[in-house]
């Protein structure tokens, strides 16, 4: 997830690299405050 917030990052490229949908990344970023306490399996 941190990679998507890097300067100049393109969400679609990050999603493709990790073989997930861009929707999945946006959903995870919306709930990022909760990710510290749980394990996320994509």
Residue 27, pLDDT score: 84
**Total domain count for the chain?**
1
Orientation of helix 22-30 relative to helix 11-18, angle to 10°: 110
CA gap 10, 38 in Å, rounded: 25
Residue 42 lies in a domain: no
Quote the pTM value.
0.58
Residue 25 lies in a domain: yes
Higher-confidence position of 9 and 32? 9
Residue 40 lies in a domain: no
Structural domain harbouring 19: 2-35
Mean pLDDT of 6-31: 86
What are 26-33's contacts with CB under 8 Å, separation 24+? 28/1, 29/1, 29/4, 29/5, 32/1
Residue 17 lies in a domain: yes
Higher-confidence position of 22 and 37? 22
């Amino acid at each position: 997830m941190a990679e998507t917030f890097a300067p100049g990052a393109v969400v679609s490229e990050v999603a493709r690299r990790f073989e997930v949908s861009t929707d999945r990344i946006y959903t995870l970023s919306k709930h990022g405050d909760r990710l510290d306490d749980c394990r996320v399996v994509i």
